[in-house]
Each structure stands twice: as structure tokens, then as C-alpha cells.
Structure 1
Amino acid sequence: MAASSSIAEMSASISGFLDEKHRPEHLQVLKTFTAALREKEHRDAVDEAVLSPLLPLLTRLSDELHSAGGQDVSSETLELQLTAECFRAQRNACVQSTGNQKLLRDLGLIDVSLKLLNYLLTKEDQAAVHETLRCGVQFIGNVAVGNQMCKEDVWRSIVPDHLLQLLCVDDEKTVTYASMVLHTCLDDAKVETLALPQNISLALKVMELCRTQPDIDWTVIIATQHFLKCAVLVESMYTRMQHQDRVTLLELLLAQLREDESECGIPPAVASFLASSFQSGCGAVLTLATGSVSSNEVLQEALTVISLLDVLCEMSSDHGEFMFLQDHADLLANTTDLLAQVHAIGKSSKNIFSASQNFSLGADAGSSHHSPVVSFKAHLIRLIGNLCHNNARNQNKVRELDGIPLILDNCNIDSNNPFINQWAIFAVRNLLENNAENQSVVASMQRRGALDYAALRELGLEAEQRGGALLLKSLRKDP
């Protein structure tokens, strides 16, 4: 039998029970129709006459579900099953078929389906409702794929309120499919509209899901491929977020920077905003020194500062589009001042910022490495080094802030700050390179017990004491 005749007969069977009382046999007819639409030959044979019976059936089911009010449970269950099967048939019909997408749109099935989904969102959580929601959302996603008119219809109808409700459903599959719909509909213009006050809650929910349900890939894809590339949205989200979600956003941003060093797609305006956020909030990390954080909110604020520092370090390393951070107002001064405070606090008493040489492999080994500030001081030094790379003005500013002795005082191995020695050497190299005044500072420093001359030897320099002062000499011999 030809595909066109076969699919037409199945459609006629559906038309045959449109005015009958719903029975389980009707569900079986629909399942046969749905299964046939999985095959390309049947999808290609579809015309308006084949799909049109779905509209009165779905409209009737919608009316019955609205009027029943859950009074007849068995009848409602069958109605939900029939509705789900209608959605499946529509979903299957859309696969790789722009013609069928247009037919479903022209018939009004997108509108009816969206209204039904909105009603289902008001129902109590139950397996049958979740199953129907899943199928309906899958249809909405499939009908929009590659079809701009359908995308616009879906976007106008469900953003922000109804899509936000779908993302809040206590069913992971429904949330996953709803995330897919959002990703399908998004483009640069729509992403920017999510920054508007009436839409921002939708973007915030996506970021919350990135944290609470990381196995839902679609939300992470939405965040990295769309959200992080829109500066106005990043700023709008960040200012409204809880600190936990800020950390999630920053972790995704950091992963994006590391994944594609050549062209990460993150706008310079995002880097500028994050630098300003770091400067305004960096003092929060100092509250960790007491060892008794007064609230979880304070801890989360400090963790946000730490994540901001990690991102700024990465941005200012081998990312040419972000090197303007070297000129960002007071970023270098604030970072140097914070390093001085952290270093002083760590030396004043035994606390979270104190240096440690605990490299044992016992049961408590590495307990310090569970500290939220592990590597924090090292990363402050790394950022200073980055900001001074080939930048005489910043080299001079660090000297004026007495930052050179401060960095040299951190050339010792510290288990709380892995690689701090290497980052200090890196920073000193950048501070001394082609800067005679900074070299003179090191050469004239009074010998102090905390100064590790091995760091200078790593740079090919030797500090020789003469008359209570230091003379800086090169270890490299001329050829």
C-alpha cells in the first residue's frame, strides 16, 4: 500500500471517533498513527487533510479537561493519555519537515497545544500530567526547529511566564525539554530582551538550573552559547543573583575562557564589569580570617570574590581582547592592597591566610586544601604579574605601592598556595623587565629573613650583599 494511502486511512480512523465517547481503542488508533509518522515516507505523504482531524480532537480534549475538574479520575487519565498521543503525533510529524511544521501552524495546532500546556501547568503533579507535559513541550520544540515563523509564535506565547513555569515543574524531563525549546528560539536579539525587568526572572532560572541540575545540558549550553556573550544580560543577571548562582556563572565563564583561548566570544564589557565587581566586593574575603563566618551569606560573598579573581586571572592571561584590564581604573592598586592585607593578616596570627608547609600524606593530609582561600594569595600575585606584563606604568605603580618587597616576601613554598613561588617569580620578572628603577629597588633592599633569593636565581639574577645593601647582578655570562 502506498504511504499516502496508508497515512490517509489512519487519519480517517481518527476522524471516525471524533464524536464518540473516548475509549481505550481510540488511544490505540492514535498510537498507530504516531508510530507511522516516525517513518520519513509517511511524513512526506502528509497533507492538510491528514493532520486536520487532530485539531478538533485536541480542542475537544482541552474542553473536557477544563470542565472535568478531576471529578472522574479514570476518564481524566484517558483524556490525558489521548492528549499526550496527539502531541506525540504532532511532534513526529515535524521531524525534518518544514512543510508539516507550516501545516500544523496554519491549522492552529500550535496555539491549541500551547493553551493546553498552560492549563496542564495548573494541574497537580501526577505521572499522567507530567507525561502529557513532556510530549507537548517536545512538540513545541520540534515545530520551532529551523522554522522562524514558528519560533516567533512560540516565543510570543510562552516567554517569559509560561516558559518559566515549565522550568519550575518538578519533573526533570519536562525541564530538559523546556530548556531545549528556549535554546531553539533564542537569537542575539531575544537574548538581549531577557535582560529586561519583565524577562530577567527567566534568565535567572536558567542559571539556577545550571547550579542545581547540572546534568541538564541544555541550560549550560544556553548559558555558554548565549548568555555569556551578551554583556547587558550578564550585568543584569549578576546584580540580581544570589552569590551561589554568581559563582556558577563565573565557573561557566572560566570554563569557556579555558576551552577556547583564541576566540571565547565573551564581550570586553563583561570583563570590565567583573573587574569593577571584584574591586567593589573584594574586602569580603577578609572576613574569612576570623575562622567563624557569621553567616552562609558572608561565606558565599567571599567565595564570589575568589571566583571573580580566578576569572580575571584567566582573562588577563593570553587573551588579547581583555588586556585593556591593565588600564582598568584602580584594579592594580586594589589587588596590590588586598594582597598586602591578606599577607599581613596571615602573618599576624595563625589563620586561614597563614602560610603552611603541611605536605604530609596522612589522614588529614590536604585538609588545608579544602579551605575556600586555597591559592587565593597566589592568584592575587598572578593577577598583579599579568597586569604588569610589558606595561611600564603598572610596573611603576606597584613599586610606588611597595608591592615589590611584598611579592618577594611570598616566594616561599606554601601548601595553602600551590605554585605561589612560581607566580611570584613570574610577577617579579614582569616587574623588573626593562625597568631600571624597579631593578634598583630590589638591588637596594635590606636583607630580610623572609626574602628568598632562590626566586631571583630563577630569574637569572643574584643578590649580593655589600655594606648592608643588596646589589643585583646577572648570572648569565656573555658568550
Structure 2
Amino acid sequence: MAAPRQLPARVSGIMVPASIQDLEALRALTALFKEQRNRETAPRTIFQRVLDILKKSSHAVERACRDPSQVDDLASSLQLITECFRCLRNACIECFVNQNSIRNLDAVCIAVDLIFLFRELRVEQESLLTAFRCGLQFLGNIASRNEASQSAVWLHAFPELFLSCLNHPDKKIVSYSSMILFTSLNSARMKDLEENLNIAINVVEAHYKQPESEWPFLIITDHFLKSPELVKAMYAKMSNQERVTLLDIIIAKVMADEPLTKEEIPVFLSHAELFASTFVDQCRLVLKLTSEQYTDDEEALATIRLLDVLCEMSVHGDLLGYLQAYPGLLDRVVDLLRLIHVTGTDTTNIFSACSYIKADSNISNMAEGFKSHLIRLIGNLCYKNRVNQDKVNEMDAIHLILDNCSPDDRNPFMTQWVVYTIRNLTEDNTQNQDLIANMEEQGLVDASLLKKMGFEVEKRGDKLILKSIHDAPQPVLGRVITEPCPFGIERGERGLRAINTSRAKSP
């Protein structure tokens, strides 16, 4: 590689300061290192020279930390520091040899120490932020696909760098530090996070504040969700808003086009245990939302989001069997449905039925749709499961489910979920079929309602038979289609419950 041209000491008789010569030489190097061939032919001595300039310039930052009055005199030193980091950052791009050479010159330690000084200054000067960002970019590039460099970064940066950067007010600093964390994490280092939960929780908070940034999201999906122990420990320590954020990511993972792998199934069974257990213990918290003073209660909203996760998990056959047998889950869901149905009928509150359609309304309260999702989960838990079918009957809940078949703007697709759940309750279960048929005979269920749901009662001698009308519309993916489809587990209306999304209109 051709070395960058050195500026003469004098230009037109004027002495050129050494710092300006260094800055121009660094800029030339930075430009040269944009080319792969120049990176591959760079001599080690160049990196030593760059690090010498970096260490010399860092003394000014150290003095400013001791004496804040000197912060305003940092301009030239910050320029040099920034360009040193840019130069080293570019040199490391897809170049294993340069990564090793620069690391062996102790550059990681130097960079991390400087970043700590930047954080200590707590000055929002743009020049300081630029140097800060470039330092983080360098650490990310030197660690990329290089285990030895990742180990060095982890040794020097963990946990202080992540604790100080992941909650920084500058979005780019949060993003770049997330990149470093993602690049450096592996299964062995996950244990370190279990002992420093604040870092893991800060990643979730970073995703909440910057959903457009890919790095916090990837850390959670590609690392955190592979560790049931970490997720359980995090969930216990999180705020309710952070829990909702984590649950949203899990829903996105479960609903992704790519199915869970064989390796992921045991992990998500552990997640299912955590969320089912938490829901069983805390589900009655949602009743606080019946009071106007608690309509934004975050603890209740986090519990509601648990129901969404359980609904999506119950779509997957490997997770469904576990949830169907989870002690107390079906009982709690049925009991809660009964409580909010009675409460919503007796008084006017967020769980009361609303029979008109608001065409341009937004879902601003996560409690909307909660009742329909309870019915949906009951349907999934009863899919091809005679024990649960009979349990719903024994709890006198079939009539309760049928009683929710009216259109309800607060619970989009309610009628479709009732149809789906009744079909799963009556599939290969003559006892439940006879119960519904007798309800119709006694006038407890309107025949027109049954027909609307795709059923009719036929009398054969002294026996009443509940029959399916095969050409009746069946629920699927939150829509109504005109072709019959088999009974089964149904997905929800994708995106319907997401915060700040437009409401899907009822069909």
C-alpha cells in the first residue's frame, strides 16, 4: 500500500502545526482503507503510529475530566481522536489480519478507556459525540467475526461500557453499543448477563425507545430468547412496560413465517411455563381496568399481553400439548371470562359490549379484544382434547361462550372466535353436542344464532342431534371465508392488538 503523502513542515513560509499534519495524514489513511487491497497490504507500523496519536490526544480528555473548565479546549484533540478511530475502524473491515495486529497493540483497552472518559465528561458537544460514536464503531468492527477480539472487547468493556452506553441519550451511541454487545455475545457469556441483569433490561428498554434499530431486537431474539434462565430472571426484575416490550418481541418471534426449530422448541416450552404460571397467578389483575382510575394500569396491561403470548404459543402443536395440560390454566381462563362478562354486563366499563362500529378508531387500550382472546384460548386448549372439552362443560361455560356471540366493537371477530371454540368443544364429543341441542330445545339458545354459527338441531325420534352446516362460513386468520375448513387451532388477527395500529374492521 502506498503511504499517504506527508505534508511539509512549512507551507508558503508558514509553520504547519504537527497536529494538522497528523490530521491530514489520518484522513488520507482513512480514505485509503476504504479499499480492500489497501487494508490487506497495510504495514503494522502504520497502526502503531495511529495509536501513538490516539494516546497522545487522549491526555487532553483526561485533563478535561479533572478540570471541566478545559472542555472547551478539546476541539483539536477530539478531531484527532475521531480520525484515529475512523482510520482503525476502516482498517478492520473484513480484514482478520488487521484486526489481530491492531488488537495486539492494545488498541481495545485504549479505546475502551477513552470511551469511559467521554462518558465521564457528560458533555453533549457534537464533536465529543462524534468521537464517542466512532470509538464504538471501531470496537464493533474489530470484534466482527473475530473470537479473539470479541474476548478482548468483553474483557475490557463488560459490564461498565454497556451499563453506561445502552441508556445514553444519543440514539447512535445506544445503537453502536448494542452492535458491540450483539457481536460479542455467545452462550458462555450469557452467564455474565444473568449476573448483570440491568444490561439485559437496558437492551429491552433500548428496543422500546428505538424500535427502528435492529441491534437490540437481534440481541433479544438471537441471544436472550435462547436462555430461559435469563428470560425468567429478567421478567421478575422488569418494569411492566419492559415486560410488554419483551412479550411483543416473543409474539413476533412465534408468529414469524419461519417456524420454531427443533432446538428452539424446548426453550419455548420453558418460556410457555413461565408465562402460563404468571398468567394463572396474576390474571385477575385485569379487573382493575373496570375502574376509570386504572384504565392505564401497566400491571394489568402486562397481564393482558401474557394472554396474547399464550394464544400465539397455543397455535404451535409442540407448545399446545404442554399448555393444554398446564395445571389451572383452562380453569383460570374460563373463570376470568365469566368474571369480566358479568362485570361488563352489570356495569358500563371497558369490558362492556359495544355494538356499533367506529370506522376510524384506533386501538389505544390493550384491553380491547381481551374477551375474544380468552374465548380463542379456550378453543385452542380444547382442540382434540376430550379432558378439556369435558372440563368446560363441567364448569358450565358452554352457555357462557354462546352468550358472547353478539358483535362487539371492543372485541373484533368475537362471533368468529365463538364459532371456532364451539366447534372445538363439540368435535367428537356427543355430550357437549347434546347439551347445546337441549339448550336450543329449551329456548336457552336461539336457533337462528346456531344457524349463524354453522349449526342446526335435528330431532331424531326422542333424541336431539346437533349438526354442522357444512357450507357455513368458518373463521380463519381473523376473517370469514366462504369455503369450509377443518376444525383446528387458529391464529389471531395478525397485528390487531399491536399498540398504535389502525383497527381492523369487523367483517
State the SS of the aligned residue for 1:95: coil
Query: How many residues end up aligned between the 2 structures?
Result: 457
d(CA) in 2 for partners of 1:380 and 1:261?
Answer: 26
Q: For 1:104 and 1:322, how far apart are their aligned partners in 2?
A: 52
Determine which of 463, 467, 472 is the counterpart of 2:465: 472
Aligned letter for 1:221? L
Match among 380, 386, 399 for residue 386 of structure 1: 380
Question: Contact 2:358–2:409 (CA<8 Å) still a contact in 1?
Answer: no
**Correspondence for 2:221 among 221, 224, 229:** 224
Give the deviation of 1:66 after TM superposition: 1.2
Provide the residue aligned with 1:169 in structure 2. Answer: 168
1:238 corresponds to which residue?
Answer: 235
SS in 1 for 2:188: helix
Query: 1:58 maps to which residue?
Result: 54
Moved more, 38-47 or 275-284: 38-47
Match of 1:276 in 2: 277
For each residue in 1:372-427, what CA deviation from the matched residue of structure 2 results, as whole angstroms up to 9, or x when unmatched? 32211110000000000011111111111111111111122222211111111111
Structure 1 runs not aligned, ≥5 long: 14-19
Describe how 1:49-448 pairs up with structure 2 within 5 A.
49-68=45-64, 69-73=67-71, 75-125=73-123, 126-196=125-195, 199-260=196-257, 262-263=259-260, 265=264, 267-293=268-294, 296=296, 299-359=297-357, 361=359, 366=361, 370-445=364-439
Aligned twin of 2:475: none
Give 1:272 shift. Answer: 1.1
The equivalent position to 1:44 in structure 2, one of 40, 46, 49, is 40
After TM superposition, give the deviation of residue 247 of structure 1 in Å: 0.8
1:330-357 per-residue CA deviation (whole Å, 9 max, x = no partner) reads: 1000000000101111111222211121
Q: Is the 8 A contact 2:341 2:351 kept in 1?
A: yes
Moved more, 385-394 or 181-190: 181-190
- Cα deviation, 1:172-217, whole Å, max 9, x if unaligned, reads 1111111111111112332343122xx1100100101111222222
Cα 1:188/1:471, change in 2 over 3 Å = same
CA deviations over 1:37-66 (Å, ceiling 9, x no partner)? 112222111122221112322222223321
Distance in 2 (CA, whole Å) between partners of 1:118 and 1:427 is 58
SS of the residue aligned with 1:23?
Answer: helix
Name the CA distance, whole Å, in 2 between partners of 1:285 and 1:194.
Answer: 32
Q: Distance in 2 between matches of 1:36 and 1:416?
A: 61
For 1:413, give the aligned amino acid: P
SS where residue 358 of structure 1 aligns? coil
CA separation of 1:205/1:435 partners in 2, compared to 1, >3 Å: closer, same or farther? same
TM-score of the aligned structures, taking structure 2 as reference length = 0.84
Query: Distance between the aligned counterparts of 1:241 and 1:434, measured in 2?
Result: 44
Is the Cα–Cα contact under 8 Å of residues 228 and 271 in structure 2 kept in the other structure? yes
| 1:282–1:305 CA contact under 8 A, matched in 2 | yes
**Secondary structure, counterpart of 2:464 in structure 1:** strand
- Asked if structure 2 preserves the Cα contact closer than 8 Å seen for 1:123 and 1:129, the reply is no
Aligned to 1:38, what secondary structure does the other structure show? coil
- 1:453 to 1:180, Cα distance in 2 relative to 1, 3 A: farther
1:16 alignment partner in structure 2: none
The yes-or-no answer on 1:34 pairing with 2:30 is: yes
Quote the Cα distance in structure 2 between the aligned partners of 1:11 and 1:314. Answer: 65
**Separation of aligned partners in 1, 2:254 and 2:304:** 17
Deviation at 1:281, TM superposition (A): 1.2
SS at match of 2:120: coil
Distance in 2 of aligned mates of 1:52 and 1:192: 35
Structure 1 89/215 Cα, relative in aligned 2: closer, same or farther at 3 Å?
Answer: same
Shift of 1:474: 2.5
Q: 2: CA distance between counterparts of 1:12 and 1:303?
A: 68
* 2-structure distance, mates of 1:112, 1:319: 52
User: Which structure 2 residue ranges, 5 or more long, are not aligned?
Assistant: 10-15, 471-507
Amino acid at match of 1:212: K
What residue is the counterpart of 1:17 in the other structure? none
The two structures, once aligned, show a CA RMSD in angstroms of 2.7
Shift of 1:12: 13
Distance 2:81 2:210 in 1: 28
* Alpha-carbon distance in 2 for matches of 1:39, 1:200: 41
Between the aligned partners of 1:235 and 1:124, the Cα distance in structure 2 is 34
Secondary structure (helix, strand or coil) at the match of 1:245 reads helix
Q: Are the equivalent residues in 1 in contact too, given 2:439–2:445 (CA < 8 A)? A: no
Partner of 1:194, secondary structure, is helix
Secondary structure class of the residue paired with 1:471: strand
Name the CA shift for 1:460/1:171 in 2 (closer, same or farther; >3 Å): closer
Q: Contact 2:6 / 2:21 at 8 angstroms: preserved in 1?
A: no
The verdict on how the C-alpha distance between 1:350 and 1:170 changes in structure 2, with shifts beyond 3 A counting, is closer
**What SS is found at the alignment partner of 2:194?**
coil
Q: Cα distance, 1:267 vs. partner?
A: 2.1
The answer (yes or no) to whether the contact 2:372–2:414 under 8 Å persists in 1 is yes
Task: Tell me if the contact between 1:11 and 1:53 (Cα under 8 Å) persists in the aligned partners.
Answer: no
Distance (Å, rounded) in 2 between the aligned partners of 1:311 and 1:58: 50
- Considering fraction of residues, name the structure with more helix: 1
CA–CA distance in 1 between the matches of 2:469 and 2:68? 87
CA offsets 1:60-86 (integer angstroms, 9 cap, x no match): 222332135344456421111111111
2:463 & 2:403 partners in 1: Cα distance?
15
Q: Is the 8 A contact 1:425 1:456 kept in 2?
A: no
Deviations 1:138-188 (A, max 9, x none): 000000001100001101211222222012222111111111111111123
1:164·1:202 contact (CA, 8 Å) conserved in 2? yes
Question: Alpha carbons of 1:301 and 1:155: their partners in 2 closer, same or farther (altered >3 Å)?
Answer: same
**2:480 is matched with which residue?**
none
